[in-house]
Structure 1
Amino acid sequence: MAKRIIQRLFPNRHAVKEHKALRFLGNWLHDPSLWHLNRRSVAGAFAVGLFMAFVPFPAQMVGAALLAVAFRVNLAISVALVWLTNPVTIPPMFYFAYLVGNWLLGAPAHHPANFHLTAAWFQDEFSRIWRPLLLGSFVVGSSLSVLGYFGIRLFWRMHVVRRWQQRMRRHRAEHKS
């Protein structure tokens, strides 16, 4: 059931192969493992997508596509999960990553007094926050990646067991009558 829902929601491989942002991958997009929907491929795609969602740099989708190709996991899911970071979620996600990085470094959090949306303000503040932000992003992204991988594998296994049990109950009911 979950497999059918995923197949319906995600674009087919031909549409993705023709997408202008992914054309640079060329023949690598013809690898069938990038399009399979099985426990290994989907769990790996979740790991890649969740990790790349916490990379605090542009081109997360390209990074997710490259990692999906490298690890031979579902490309569409890997790239789609990067969209967890969007204009609404970026501030809390990266602020949390920054706080985690500060905690790991044993440094107090820097809270700028006057916010000005200018390149100069951002450059000045970024020079103060880049270390904890990168460390926190790596740790949070890696942790969510591992949790996502094993969570999907567990969910998939529970789904298969439940379907097997339903088939067995139907089979027994049919043979009782």
Structure 2
Amino acid sequence: MFSRFVAWAKRNLPTRESMEANRWLRPVAHRVLEPSLWRFTRRSVPRGVALGMVTGILCPVAQVPLSAIFALPVRANIPVAALTTFITNPFTTPPLWVAAYWIGSRILHFGEGMGVEADAARGWMEWLFSEAGPSLVVGLTLITLVFAVVGYGASALGWRWWIVRKWRARAEARAA
């Protein structure tokens, strides 16, 4: 399963060469094509994961280009940031927004002390701007923060685990 995912990513993610050939990127090619933004290092990969989570959850459109643009100042890995934005897709976005609304309404204490008749009398647009909008914004912000921190930590620990495994394999090979 993982090898199929890696093969798909290699086929579909933009490469340095394809971006270099793009006429729209020529003015900023010297920044975008900097090798450190394309290398997989222990610092750039967790940054890319966290950045991809942020742009994937908070930006409803143009997630991949925005993650690539935001990767420049934070020195994040561009392919990892672009790939991580796919955490939100047509299957995960509706439950994410429902959870964000629920969390935001609990934090802002909306819906407490209101009777059923008061809720029925309000118009949909009034509800959207007075309760749903702020609840959704607060909930999405909190979920984004949690996902970014957990994604950063998990990828940093995963990187460390992978390196320790390689060190042990080398030590065993030397010992044998």
Common fold: TM-score over 0.5: yes
Aligned partner of 2:49 in structure 1 is 46
Aligned partner of 2:18 in structure 1 is 15
Alignment check: 8 A CA contact 2:42 2:159 kept = yes
Q: What residue ranges of structure 1 are gaps of 5+ in the alignment?
A: 114-120
Alignment check: 8 A CA contact 2:20 2:26 kept = no
2:73 alignment partner, SS class:
helix
Aligned partner of 1:130 in structure 2 is 133
Post-superposition, which runs of at least 4 consecutive aligned residues in structure 1 deviate over 6 A?
A: none
- Percent of counterpart pairs with the same letter? 27
Aligned partner of 1:73 in structure 2 is 76
Is 1:157 aligned to 2:169, yes or no?
no
Aligned-pair distance for 1:39?
A: 1.2
What code does the residue aligned with 1:92 have?
P
- What are the residue-to-residue correspondences of 1:1-177 with 2, within 5 Å? 8=10, 10-18=13-21, 23=25, 26-27=28-29, 28-55=31-58, 57-108=60-111, 126-127=128-129, 128-173=131-176
CA offsets per residue over residues 5-59 of structure 1, 9 Å max, x none?
A: 5984644212244568x73872321222211111111110000001112115323
CA distance in 2, matches of 1:63, 1:77: 13
How many aligned residue pairs are there? Answer: 161
Q: What residue ranges of structure 2 are gaps of 5+ in the alignment?
A: 113-118
Aligned-pair distance for 1:125?
A: 5.6
What code does the residue aligned with 1:39 have?
R
CA distance in 2, matches of 1:131, 1:162: 46
Cα 1:48–1:107 shift into 2, 3 Å? same
CA distance in 2, matches of 1:152, 1:145: 10
Alignment check: 8 A CA contact 1:56 1:137 kept = no
What code does the residue aligned with 1:26 have?
V
CA offsets per residue over residues 147-173 of structure 1, 9 Å max, x none?
A: 111111111111111111111111111
Cα 1:105–1:79 shift into 2, 3 Å? same
What code does the residue aligned with 1:78 have?
A
CA offsets per residue over residues 80-128 of structure 1, 9 Å max, x none?
A: 211221122210111111111112112239xx99xxxxxxx7x666424
Cα 1:44–1:166 shift into 2, 3 Å? same
CA distance in 2, matches of 1:82, 1:25: 25
Alignment check: 8 A CA contact 1:56 1:134 kept = no
